[in-house]
Amino acid sequence: MTYFLVKQLCDISLLGRVLPFKVCRRKIPSYNICYRVLRHCLVKSLPVLSSSFRSLSTQPAKDAVDLSKFPVDKIRNFCIIAHIDHGKSTLADRLLEMTGAIAKTEKNKQVLDKLQVERERGITVKAQTASLFYSHDGQEYLLNLIDTPGHVDFSYEVSRSLSACQGVLLIIDANQGIQAQTVANFYLAFEAQLAIIPVINKIDLKNADPERVESQIEKVFDIPREECIRISAKLGTNVEAVLQAVVKRIPHPGGSVDDPFKALVFDSNFDHYRGVVANIAVIGGRVKKGDNIVSAHLSKTYEVNELGLLRPEEHATQKLFAGQVGYIIAGMKDVKEAQIGDTLYRHDHPVQALPGFKPAKAMVFAGMYPMDQSEYPALRSAIERLTLNDSSVTVQRDSSLALGAGWRLGFLGLLHMEVFNQRLEQEYNASVIVTSPTVPYKAILSSAKLIKEHGGEEVTIVNPAQFPDRSVVLEYLEPMVLGTILAPDAYTGKIMSLCLSRRGVQKSMVYIDEQRVMLKYLFPLNEIVVDFYDLLKSMSSGYASFDYENADYQAADLIKMDILLNGRPVEELTTIVHRERAYSTGKAMCERLKESIPRQMFEIAIQAAIGSKVIARETVKAFRKNVLAKCYGGDITRKMKLLKRQAEGKKKMRRVGNVDVPKDAFISVLKRKEK
Amino acid sequence: MITYMFRKASRGFSPGLRRFSDLKVTEHVPESPASPRLTEQASLYVHWPYCLRRCTYCNFNKYIPKENNEDIMAKCLQRETETLLQLSQVSCITSVFFGGGTPSLAHPSTIAKILETVSKQVNLSDEAEVTLEVNPTPVGMSKLKDYHHAGVNRFSIGVQSLQAKDLKSLGRDHNSLDALQTLAEARKLCPGGVSVDIMFGRPNQTTELWSRELSEMLRVCDDHVSLYQLTLERGTQLFKQVQSGQVTMPTEEITAEMYQCARTTLQQHGFQQYEVSNFAKNNSESRHNLSYWTGRQYIGVGPGAHGRFVPLGEGGVAREARTQTLEPDVWIREVRQRGHGTRRRIQLGHLELLEEVLVMGMRMTTGINHKHWELFSPELSLLEIFGGSLVVQELLQHGQLILDDRGLRCSWEGLALLDSMLPVLLVELERGFSQKLAAN
């Protein structure tokens, strides 16, 4: 069994990971899974002289906090990772209270989750950081809690946060046990070679079964059950043990105050008044107000205006020292200047830059259009402001004959997209039409001429209009994901047939305890992008959890499908589909159009076609009679109003051939279905 | 800028009315003075708001009277007629129509008084058509003669159906025998001046039943038939019955078939269709209704009545859409206080007027001829508006619409689809109109 598990882990890492500096490690087959590697990969190469380090700071303490009294061996950088609702934010609240970062009140709920969408959905989208002061065995420690988003869509954010840490608290619900995101998050931490402390939360619940969860942890993650800490974050039970474990089990950061200053930018925010606020992890040396620092990425020099700790509010200090985590404001005017993953150093002492991060790649695309074109400028500024703080969203202007001017936005994943929409609606009060999401396909060109034109043989296709013809293509590729599903075994059959219908290929199936199964499937991303998760949830009465990670591209039999109205193609409804799915997709689109195109004076044929071959058809019958039979006593006001409204509507309709198509029809076909 | 444009437009469209240009009228273009006839005459609609009972399908403005207040009602109708005639400054009333409600509940003397009021004030020729809607009940029938004496020369009889069961379920207060007798009596009094209303698309009706019923009707009717499709209106008893599934209405397909079947049958019996729902032989068209469809002025008197006229009497220059107060009691109070119960007045801009002329005119089988359109739109011809339009071209090509040297009209097939074509035509009209404005 152990063998099986290990093999599976290796499979995953081969398929899943993208960060290049991890490659060397994941190829080493390891039968004894190392869940605790002492040093973070980014700081691995730095000289290690930490344990014998003494604070030699002579700086008089002008700050309320004298950071010089925290040498690296008194610092722990960690984050909390968990499946949704397993209690990450509650534990963070408790840790903040116990260390005096915030007052202990009833009101402390999700203190680190500042966004409305975070509070509503119980998720973290934007990572926050909090520095905690903690005394243990007569020693004062600086614990930096770097909050992370919980969902793998934000794994980019997670890995950024992880890169500033040496250890993680992996929270697992004592009732629900290991869930899909627990697994995904574990691997992120595992591959970043962080110390992992499993924390079993919610032991106060009636159905809590920490024993079972411990065996799951042992089985799935190969972590001895003795290392699990059982707590109730809600009641504060045993939370002290968590803090002790952070001190004892998580290695301190490397680096020394004597090194030249070097810091990693792991997050950045934009503040209208102060410009860019960059969150940094000081890898070596020290930095103070007034220092001239350089960003390695742009080689631009800045003067440090302000710096300090995040507790979680900004708390200005005079200096930051090696191993510490905090914020810095240095006159950067644009988030692009504070490139995440960038290295900062003193202008008079250049250092070798850290490897940085590979930029996040948009995997889910959707069109966004204002409900009414008059709202375009407002929506534009809302999108601009939102993307200012979320550089992982790609924005491309787009326009549709039916929906007007809008954008094509790229997101890291589905949740990312939903969260973005929700923020757009809640924080900017913008009402938008969001089209059904699509994924980026690729084509390997065969024609030398086209290769030259594109400057390479591979082209990425985001818009179906750009889909190159089969005749000039060697093969088409579609993005794949490796999905993890955890569910009670009673649902296995149903789930397997769902996966099969979504062109999923089973990679593994493991019982993590007597009742729960972990399934791994390789899916085309396109198949899970719309309603897969909803179906999975409903067929398992909500018990199944699902998560996925990107798993590169695979050759696929892709075709372009046109929707025709009385023989005329409707440009904005052209879709790229897998040949196997063409019929069902085409039929569904025709049916939705039929429902929303009003009857007209002639018959309307709605067809889905591949090339010249029609694969599905619906018909809207012609009106045989459409005239009001009676006009009473000169009362034509009502009739005129109705006709005028229809005339106005007519102006807004999109004419395809001789067919008037109301905007609503496009919306109903293109729009994501409401849940 | 906009004011400027309208000013120019008003000059452009109505050179003869420049005398009004110092009035602050810019947006609303007066009716073309090329035809003073338009403002010199009008037809008169008089609304009798009471019914004995409520038909299950009717959501029209009618009331079940609590007490007999006929005297008051008669006085108020006279008073409002006086006021509005004065306001309109018309010199001639071309036709009078007593509608309702159930105007045949009114005493013949009431009808007489109103007609007297009209002829005292303006020219009401003996030839003028005076129509009364009649419910074919024995009581109604007994008064026909007196109505005739009072000056009514045309009866429009609400037969609706000859099926006893249907009459009952529709909530009508007559049976088919009553209908036949009333019809015969009316024909005796006004030969060639009797119209019957029949209704199709009734619950559980089939095309075959309808066809048979229509043939039966054709054997007994006079020279005019009005064909109405029962439309399901919110708030009616029938609506509730259909909602709850007690009653099924024929499908759209079936009613389309019924309509076509009726058109064909009527034609075979020598009836010319002259409007979407009206058929006549021997030149017995309803002149009153024709005046609506040709965009003439009309004055509406009585609770909830609608009118379209220029209130020249108070210096008005543009046609107004006017609505009288709905509730009879409130209306009565208002008429007593200020001589009329006008609740709403909306000035029609030139475009709005043309829109009405277009919408109403297209209901006629003859459509709108060029001369007629010119009366309202001397500056912008039908050809200019519709000739260059691709969408209209399509309708012409498909044979649903005809635009020729006579004018613009629907084809036989097209007439049944008029409501689908009107929005298209309205869009073109607006486009042509605003282009013309910009060019001027």
Can you tell me the mean pLDDT for A199-219? 94
Measured CA to CA, the distance from residue A524 to residue A234 in angstroms comes to 40
Residues B143, B272, single domain; the answer is yes
CB-nearest to B255 from A602, A625, A637 is A625
Measured CA to CA, the distance from residue A646 to residue A648 in angstroms comes to 5
d(CA A626, nearest CA chain B) in Å: 5
pLDDT digits (tens, 9 = 90+) for A362-413: 778 888 888 788 888 988 888 888 877 677 788 888 877 777 888 888 887 7
Residues B207, B70, single domain; the answer is yes
pLDDT digits (tens, 9 = 90+) for A245-275: 999 999 999 888 899 999 988 877 778 788 8
Q: Where are the extended beta strands (E) located within B186-223?
A: 194-200
* pTM as predicted: 0.66
> Quick check: A633 and B97 CB within 8 A?
yes
CB atoms within 10 A of CB B14: 21
CB-nearest to B416 from A627, A637, A647 is A627
Measured CA to CA, the distance from residue A160 to residue A284 in angstroms comes to 18
- Taken in order of first residue, the domains within chain A and their CATH numbers are 67-249 (3.40.50.300), 262-346 (2.40.30.10), 364-434 (3.30.70.870), 441-556 (3.30.70.240), 559-670 (3.30.70.2570)
Q: Is the pLDDT of residue A30 over 80?
A: no
DSSP at B239: H
Q: Exposed, middle or buried, B70 (CB in 10 Å: 0-12/13-18/19+)?
A: middle
Residues B111, B215, single domain; the answer is yes
CB atoms within 10 A of CB A244: 14
In sequence order, the β-bridge partners of residue A564 are A569, A607
The helix/strand/coil state of A570 is: coil
> Which residues in chain A are contacts of B260 at CB distance < 8 A?
624-625
Measured CA to CA, the distance from residue A364 to residue A393 in angstroms comes to 10
> Which residues in chain A are contacts of B359 at CB distance < 8 A?
636, 639-640, 643
**DSSP notation for B79-115:** HHHHHHHHHHT-SEEEEEEEEES-GGGS-HHHHHHHH
> Which residues in chain B are contacts of A647 at CB distance < 8 A?
422-424, 426-427, 430
Domain that holds residue B256: 41-291
Can you tell me the mean pLDDT for B236-257? 89
**Chain B interface mutation, best of A568, A597, A603, A625, highest count of B Cβ atoms under 10 Å:** A625
Residues B94, B212, single domain; the answer is yes
In a domain, B62, yes or no: yes
Measured CA to CA, the distance from residue A287 to residue A260 in angstroms comes to 10
Specify the residue for token string 């036989």.
B412
Can you tell me the mean pLDDT for B310-318? 93
Measured CA to CA, the distance from residue B111 to residue B79 in angstroms comes to 13
CB atoms within 10 A of CB B354: 23
> Which residues in chain A are contacts of B305 at CB distance < 8 A?
633-634
Q: In angstroms, how far apart are the furthest CA atoms of chain A?
A: 102
Residues B273, B125, single domain; the answer is yes
Q: Is the pLDDT of residue B388 over 70?
A: yes
Residue A435 annotated as part of some ligand binding site: no
Tokens linked to A145: 């809690």
Query: Does any CB of chain A come closer than 8 Å to the CB of residue B415?
Result: yes
Q: Where are the alpha helices (H) located in A66-209, listed in sequence order?
A: 88-98, 116-121, 155-163, 180-191
Tokens linked to B287: 């002149």
Query: Does any CB of chain A come closer than 8 Å to the CB of residue B271?
Result: no
Residues A194, A167 contacting (CB under 8 angstroms): yes
d(CA A18, nearest CA chain B) in Å: 56
Measured CA to CA, the distance from residue A462 to residue A395 in angstroms comes to 12
Q: In this predicted structure, what is the pLDDT of residue B8?
A: 35
* Residue where a domain terminates, one of B253, B275, B291: B291
Residues B87, B180, single domain; the answer is yes
Highest mean pLDDT among A146-150, A527-531, A561-565: A561-565
Binning pLDDT at 50, 70 and 90, where does residue A638 land? confident
- Would you tell me the crossing angle of helices B350-361 and B418-439 to the nearest 10 degrees? 150
Q: Round the CA-based radius of gyration of chain B to a whole number and report it.
A: 22
Q: Is the pLDDT of residue A34 over 50?
A: no
Residues B225, B125, single domain; the answer is yes
Can you tell me the mean pLDDT for A141-148? 83
CB atoms within 10 A of CB B64: 10
Q: In this predicted structure, what is the pLDDT of residue B373?
A: 96
Tell me the residue type at A85: D
Q: Where are the alpha helices (H) located in B66-199, listed in sequence order?
A: 70-88, 108-121, 138-150, 164-169, 176-189
Binning pLDDT at 50, 70 and 90, where does residue B45 land? very high
* Residue where a domain terminates, one of B291, B314, B338: B291
Backbone angles phi, psi at A339, to 5 degrees: -60, 130
ipTM: 0.84
> Which residues in chain A are contacts of B99 at CB distance < 8 A?
632-633
In a domain, B70, yes or no: yes
CB atoms within 10 A of CB A622: 14
Residues B390, B248, single domain; the answer is no
d(CA A624, nearest CA chain B) in Å: 6
d(CA A620, nearest CA chain B) in Å: 13
Binning pLDDT at 50, 70 and 90, where does residue B18 land? very low
In a domain, B341, yes or no: no
DSSP at A344: E
Specify the residue for token string 């009497």.
B313
The count of structural domains within chain B is 2
- Lowest mean pLDDT of A80-84, A157-161, A553-557, name the range: A157-161
Query: Does any CB of chain A come closer than 8 Å to the CB of residue B71?
Result: no
Binning pLDDT at 50, 70 and 90, where does residue B34 land? very low
Query: Does any CB of chain B come closer than 8 Å to the CB of residue A455?
Result: no
CATH code of residue B204: 3.20.20.70
The helix/strand/coil state of B415 is: helix
> Quick check: B97 and A627 CB within 8 A?
no
Residues B275, B410, single domain; the answer is no
Tell me the residue type at A148: T
Residues B431, B354 contacting (CB under 8 angstroms): no
Q: Is the pLDDT of residue B185 over 70?
A: yes
**Chain B interface mutation, best of A630, A637, A652, highest count of B Cβ atoms under 10 Å:** A630
In a domain, B318, yes or no: no
Residues B147, B227, single domain; the answer is yes
> Quick check: B305 and A640 CB within 8 A?
no
Q: In this predicted structure, what is the pLDDT of residue A620?
A: 93
- Lowest mean pLDDT of A6-20, A122-136, B50-64, name the range: A6-20
Residues B275, B391, single domain; the answer is no
Distances (CA, A) of A671 to A371, A417, A503, A592, B149: 12, 14, 23, 11, 68
pLDDT digits (tens, 9 = 90+) for B98-157: 998 899 999 999 999 999 999 999 999 988 999 999 999 998 899 999 999 999 999 999
> Quick check: A624 and B257 CB within 8 A?
yes
d(CA A107, nearest CA chain B) in Å: 51
Measured CA to CA, the distance from residue B368 to residue B387 in angstroms comes to 14
* Residue where a domain terminates, one of B268, B291, B314: B291
Residues A668, A595 contacting (CB under 8 angstroms): yes
Q: Is the pLDDT of residue A58 over 70?
A: no
Residues B151, B47, single domain; the answer is yes
Considering only residues B106 and A2, tell me which one the structure prediction assigns the higher pLDDT. B106
**Chain A interface mutation, best of B48, B356, B417, highest count of A Cβ atoms under 10 Å:** B417
In a domain, B245, yes or no: yes
pLDDT digits (tens, 9 = 90+) for A438-469: 888 999 998 888 888 888 889 888 778 788 88
Quick one: which of A220, A229, A202, A226 has its CA closest to A513?
Answer: A220
- For B304, the closest chain A residue by CA position comes to A635
Measured CA to CA, the distance from residue A262 to residue A294 in angstroms comes to 10
Residue A495 annotated as part of some ligand binding site: no
Query: Does any CB of chain A come closer than 8 Å to the CB of residue B351?
Result: no
Tokens linked to B56: 């299950």
> Which residues in chain B are contacts of A649 at CB distance < 8 A?
423
Q: Is the pLDDT of residue B6 over 70?
A: no
Q: In this predicted structure, what is the pLDDT of residue B425?
A: 96
Can you tell me the mean pLDDT for A576-585? 90
Mean predicted lDDT score pLDDT of chain A: 79
d(CA A640, nearest CA chain B) in Å: 7
In a domain, B18, yes or no: no
Q: How many helices (H) and strands (E) does chain B have?
A: 18, 15
- Residues 6 or more apart in contact with residue A674 via CB below 8 angstroms: none
In a domain, B169, yes or no: yes
pLDDT digits (tens, 9 = 90+) for A491-523: 999 999 999 999 999 999 999 888 889 999 999
> Which residues in chain B are contacts of A602 at CB distance < 8 A?
398
In a domain, B33, yes or no: no
Residue A108 annotated as part of some ligand binding site: no
> Quick check: B426 and A643 CB within 8 A?
yes
**Chain A interface mutation, best of B46, B422, B428, B433, highest count of A Cβ atoms under 10 Å:** B422
Binning pLDDT at 50, 70 and 90, where does residue A153 land? low
Query: Does any CB of chain A come closer than 8 Å to the CB of residue B411?
Result: no
Residues A561, A574 contacting (CB under 8 angstroms): yes
CB-nearest to B228 from A600, A630, A658 is A630
For CA atoms A116, A120, A125, A126, give the dihedral sign.
Answer: positive
